[in-house]
Amino acid sequence: MRHVRVLLSIAVATATAGCSADLSLPDEVEFNRHVQPILSDRCFSCHGPDANARESQFRLDTEEGAFAVLKGEEGAHAIVAGDLSSSVLYRRISSADPAEVMPPPESNRTLSDREVALIARWIEQGAAWQRHWAFIPPRPEDPPDPIRDWPTVNAIDRFVHARLAEARLSPSPAADRATLLRRVTFDLTGLPPTLEQLDAFGADDAPDAFERVVDRLLADPAFGERMASLWLDAARYADSHGYQDDLERTIWPWRDWVIHAFNSGMPYDDFGRLQLAGDLLPEATLSQILATGFNRNHMITQEGGVIDEEFRVAYVSDRTSTVGSVFLGLTMDCARCHDHKFDPITQSDYYGLFAFFNQVDEQGVIDYQTRVPRPALRVPYERVRSELGFVTALADGDSLASMVMADMDTLVRPTHVLERGRYDMPLEAVDPGTPDAVLPFPDDLSPDRLGFAEWLFDPANPLTARVAANRFWSMLFGRGIVSTEDDFGSQGARPTHPALLDWLALELVRSGWDTKALLKTIVLSATYRQSSQAGAELLAADPDNTLLARGPRFRLPAEALRDHALAQSGLLVRTIGGPSVKPYQPEGIWEEKTGGGGGSLARYERDSGEALYRRSLYTFWKRTVPPPSMMTFDAPDRSFSSVHRQTTSTPLQSMVLMNDPQLIEAARALAYRMIDEGGATPEERVTFAFRLMTARHPDSEETAELTAYFDEELERFGTDREAAADLLAVGELPHPEMHDEAEAAAYTMVVSAIFNLYETITRT
């Protein structure tokens, strides 16, 4: 009876699908798109890849398991294609009996009515099984036909438009030129365009005007800095060791290698290969060895009394999970203690990967004050000059030392599966290897990091190119085609545009892993160039812009917010690379947390002069007390790898933008520029600053608002000269004698307001 009632309710749900958004079902239910995410999230914990956690010997993560005869239920099957009433799975998920229903109520994994209905329809439609999408290599697929009257530049638009047409949406018109120039300049260099660049592009009617802009930006050394600032998160780069007393380390030469690699157009496969295994190449160059600093960026402890092996194992685990998420988009870390709950990665797979990184000649606990714990690369000055030309910051005669990878010469360290991941509980020994579900490790590759890197960039690897292409996409659109950039597994989000992702991945490989070429293709697309303006209707139809009926819009990342103000105020110092710098930071925040060891980073000794005005990616990163203004704007603390930042909005962010001395000083510098270069009247000067920060002219009301405010402040500072002098004393920049203090102070407040505009802090 109960059974009948449930069936009836499904029938009702299906019949009313047209009017109930909640229960509307797709006409054709596709396993990978609709069903597998439910099974993964609600069922795999107990009926998935982890053999030790599997209940009733029933598994739903493989086709074989899902259709097998159920143990203990004679002749019964969980899923019988096309036959709902014989499918025990359906009976259990739709049961009203708490003792029978699956998942059990206490698991907090209960299925919604819609989810039950989806699975039901899938079974009725024949229960076609598919392998997890991300483990099937990308398939070449012709882009859909272009849609008439919709501007189409390349294949990207054809994929996007087809999806829009399905959803009965249409693309937005192109963004105006100034907006587009600002957008692409921030995206590719992390910096704003100059007024001259805005004027030039605005006046350039040639059909290839935008393409030439893109070429110019990709050739700008700031491109490498922008790309590096993203990579530093992924690589968990920092200038300190991270644990406990958190002492200084030297690995900035690796950061400079990254900048150089991007600027020189190094193909992405070489970029990855060198960072993973440059030291193992025959006749490895200094540059190739330096690249391997990537895998030494993890935290290292110097805490007294620590058990060495416990931490050495932690470092190897860190490399394993970092490589897993950064290159493979897999949450390998889940398999450190047990078989993965959701993805076909066993605990032995984890330790197989771990084995590649387990041969490093390193210590778990380093001596206090060791800045370059072994293995280290030490290069005399002369060889730095001749072989590492991009490292320019050395004082005459100094030698260079940086942390790198190097395996032990002779001894091979056996790798064991570790029970619950515990360093002191070894189980069976494993050889270096990779998860079979991704791509079996070929016999002809060397079982070391170099072999691993070859495996990673084998075109047959279904993940590497997709994960990379997705990350490049995300940097330009604010979210990936797969929004969970570090998880392409069964718990990750499904691609919003699967065929497009595959096209981009194949294009990346086809071009010889040419990063710049792929970025160029994406930004030239009409999809990228759309206006980001959304009307109420579009906002309601697609609030997250997953279908790309409009251009991307998001708050500037932490680095760009500060660099923007420095650049437009004229303070920015464009030196590339070198040791990290210590700009303004609130007093005492290192000191108050410093312990007995004290050590090299006990006190924050602020730099002065040019070091105050370097790009933000050069700001010294002390892991236990990271730069607070950057943290407030969602920078990760770099304790571990992170491939995607949140974009939040909080009151603390407002306070940084209002009061950070770095920004007040920049406002002051821009005020002087306004007076010197911005014209003669307040209107002209306000327009000058407004345009620098937003790339557009203010309208008359905006100008009026700002000039009225200027008048108010001029009057205030005119009567309160002391207040003006106080404001103009913020920061090291001297007040130029020729400027009237009240006027400069009033413009400083005006600029501060412009710095805080939504349009200033947003890339539209």
Partner 1 sequence: MDEIEREIHYTMNRRHFLAKGSLGLGGVALGSLLVPRLFGGSGEEVSGEGADALLRGVLRTPHIAPKAKRVIYLFQSGGPSQLELFDYKPLLRERNGEELPAEVRMGQRLTGMTSGQDSKPLAGSQFEFRQAGTEGIWISELLPYTAEIVDKLCIVKSMFTEAINHDPAITFFQTGSEQPGRPSIGSWLSYGLGSMNENLPSFCVLLSRGTGRPNGQPLYSRLWGNGFLHSLHQGVQFRSGEDPVLYLNDPPGTDRESRRRWLDRLNALNRRKLAETQDPEITSRIAQYEMAYRMQTSVPETMDISREPEWVYRMYGPDSATPGTYAANCVLARRLIEQDVRFVQLYHMGWDQHDNLPDHIRKQAKDVDQASAALVMDLEQRGLLDDTLVIWGGEFGRTNYSQGELTRTNYGRDHHPRCFTVWMAGGGVKPGVYGETGPFGYNIVRDPVHVHDFQATLLHLLGIDHERLTYRTQGRRFRLTDVHGRVVQDLLA
Considering only residues 577-636, where is the footprint of partner 1 by CB under 8 A? 586-589, 592-598, 623-626, 628-629, 631-632, 634
- What is the Rg, in whole angstroms, of the alpha carbon atoms belonging to the chain? 29
24, 125, 533, 575: residue in contact with partner 1 (rule CB under 8 A): 533
Q: Tell me the window of 60-68, 199-207, 378-386, 723-731 that interacts with partner 1 (CB under 8 A).
A: 723-731
Q: Least distance to partner 1 from the beta carbon of 133, Å? A: 15
Task: Report the chain's terminal Cα–Cα distance, integer Å.
Answer: 58
The enclosing H or E element of 400 equals strand 400-403
Q: Given the structure tokens 């860190």, which residue do they identify?
A: 318
Identify the bridge partners of residue 418 per DSSP, sorted by sequence position: 426
We find the least distance from the C-beta atom of residue 140 to partner 1, in angstroms, to be 28
Angle (CA) 241-245-250 rounded to 5° is 30
Query: Does residue 647 touch partner 1 according to CB under 8 A?
Result: yes
* The two structure tokens encoding residue 39: 């099974």
Output the smallest distance, CB 595 to partner 1, in A. Answer: 3
Instruction: Supply the minimum distance, in Å, between the C-beta of residue 144 and partner 1.
Output: 27
Give the one residue of 115, 239, 502, 713 binding partner 1; rule: CB under 8 A.
713
- The answer to whether 438 and 328 are in contact (CB under 8 A) is yes
Stretch that binds partner 1, among 134-142, 219-227, 389-397, 656-664 (CB under 8 A): 656-664
Q: CB-wise, 171 or 267, nearer to partner 1?
A: 171
211 counts as binding partner 1 under rule CB under 8 A: no
- The type of residue at 646 is Q
Structure tokens given for 648: 């939040």
- For partner 1, the binding residue among 47, 466, 497, 555 (CB under 8 A) is 555
Check binding of 96 to partner 1 (CB under 8 A): no
466 lies in the site for partner 1, by CB under 8 A: no
d(CA 35, CA 655): 46
Does position 341 interact with partner 1 (CB under 8 A)? The reply is yes
**Is 535 a residue that touches partner 1 (CB under 8 A)?**
yes
The C-alpha atoms of residue 192 and residue 560 are separated, in whole angstroms, by 9
CB under 8 A: which stretch of 159-167, 202-210, 498-506, 647-655 binds partner 1? Answer: 647-655
Q: For the chain, give the number of residues.
A: 764
Q: Residues 728 to 757: which contact partner 1 by CB under 8 A?
A: 728-730, 745, 749, 752-753, 756-757
Nearer of residues 271 and 755 to partner 1, judged by Cβ: 755
Residues 22-81 that bind partner 1 (CB under 8 A): none
Residue closer to partner 1 (CB basis): 154 or 531: 531
Q: Are 274 and 256 in contact (CB under 8 A)?
A: no
Binding mask 399-438 for partner 1 (x = CB under 8 A): -------------------------x--------------
Pick from 431, 267, 277: nearest CA to 441:
431
Q: Which of 387, 431, 676, 712 lies at the binding interface for partner 1 (CB under 8 A)?
A: 712
Task: Pick the binder of partner 1 from 211, 607, 705, 732 (CB under 8 A).
Answer: 705
Q: Which is nearer to partner 1, 18 or 596 (CB)?
A: 596
CA atoms of 374 and 325, how far apart (whole Å):
25
Under rule CB under 8 A, residue 308 binds partner 1? yes
Q: Which stretch binds partner 1 (CB under 8 A): 221-229, 517-525, 607-615, 637-645?
A: 637-645
- Is the CB of 392 or the CB of 649 nearer to partner 1? 649
- Beta-carbon contacts of 127 under 8 Å, excluding residues fewer than 6 positions away, are 31, 67, 79, 80, 81, 82
The token pair that represents 80 in the structure block: 């019988």
343 lies in the site for partner 1, by CB under 8 A: yes
Nearer to partner 1, 73 or 424 (CB): 424
Residue closer to partner 1 by CB (options 195, 314) is 314
CB 742 within 8 A of CB 735: no
| Spatial separation of the C-alpha atoms in residues 169 and 481, rounded to whole Å | 18
Closer residue to partner 1 (CB): 123 or 601: 601
Integer Cα distance of 154 and 517 in angstroms: 13
Q: How far is Cα of residue 183 from the mean position of the Cα atoms in its chain? A: 18
How many residues bind partner 1 (CB under 8 A)? The answer is 111
Q: Does 658 bind partner 1 (CB under 8 A)?
A: yes
DSSP 465-526: HHHHHHHHHHHHHSS-SSS-TT--STTSPPPSSHHHHHHHHHHHHHTTS-HHHHHHHHHHSH
Per-residue CA distances from 41 to 57, 105, 263, 622, 678 (Å): 18, 15, 42, 37, 58
**Residue 162, helix vs strand vs coil:** helix
Map residue 134 onto helix, strand or coil. helix
Q: Does 305 bind partner 1 (CB under 8 A)?
A: yes
Q: Which of residues 234-293 bind partner 1 (CB under 8 A)?
A: 242-246
Query: Smallest distance from the beta carbon of 208 to partner 1, in angstroms?
Result: 31
